[in-house]
Amino acid sequence: MHFTFLGTGAGVPAKNRNTTSMVLTMPEYQGDTWMFDCGEATQHQILHTSVKLSKIKKIFITHMHGDHIYGLPGVLGSRSFQGGVDKLTVYGPKGIKDFIEISLSVSSTYLKYPLEIIELDEDGIIYEDGNFKVSVKELEHGITCFGYRIEEKDQPGTLLVDRLKAEGVMPGPIYRQIKEHAAVTLPDGRTLTSSDYIGPDKKGRKLAVLGDTRVCQAAVELAENADLLIHESTFSKGMEQKAHSYFHSTSTQAAKTAKAANVAALILTHISSRFQEDDQLLLEEAREIFNPTYLAKDFWTYELN
């Protein structure tokens, strides 16, 4: 499971940072890919990575500002042109449905795959299957803006093959039965308690991807005990008043949120173009409060083990 950052800038594109977009790729789940936000030129950024448009199954939009959505019509169209046939679901605030449908209609863009659009209007769980649960909370921004919490469900432990072999149980269909049933009777009449031959459950990972936001309690709750928090850092230390006025956060405010939420790691993104020459300053400021902290760059990939 890893995040690839396609755009890490704020507001408008800069020479070294495109507008916001990132993808979560999950090789352990058939390579499914989820995208978070889709700023202008996102499909061009994808060309510099190993991301496959056809593998994108879900797109989560945090809010309707242009630097987070202007690339969406192009990505949807190109996914069709490049052979995508599986269903794609887009989640976002009210207005995302009109934006997509009008853009595709007036440009006469025909999609060869089913497209589902789900508009969000309140906090809560928005998606759940056998492997994941995704929930949202509204953050504090100038317009409706959501943060996403992705929780991987605990996975069954590994079959203890060496222990089974020591009991004289050789590989075969019986191994599957042990995985699927609480107890299994062997051909020789012995009954095995399956839990004695399965390791402890593997704890699921927890991620929080926040949209643009001021400091707020919702951000802390979304990130609580997460393995990874991705947080905007539009401004630097000492610019708290400006950040508040523009409904954004500073590097140190992001770090304080990470610390309050007890996360395992923090990544700063959504970096203002004013820091093109000294963006390391933001990283240093955040690390004074919380570590490990990383500064996202376009095309950088973070592995979540």
Provide the annotated binding site for Zn(2+): 63, 65, 67-68, 141, 212, 270
Residue type, position 1, single letter: M
Burial class, 113, CB count within 10 angstroms (exposed 0-12 / middle 13-18 / buried 19+): middle
Residue whose token pair is 């708290």 = 240
Residue 37 annotated to the active site: no
Cα 2 from Cα 304, distance rounded (Å): 5
Picking from 131, 119, 174, 177, the residue whose alpha carbon sits closest to that of residue 155 is 131
Pick from 269, 263, 267: which is nearest to 227 by CA?
263
How many contiguous H segments (helices) and E segments (strands) does the chain have? 10, 16
Sheet holding 56-60, edge to edge: 115-120, 88-93, 56-60, 32-38, 21-26, 2-7, 301-303
The residue from 32, 37, 67, 98 that is catalytic is 67
Which are the catalytic amino acids? 67
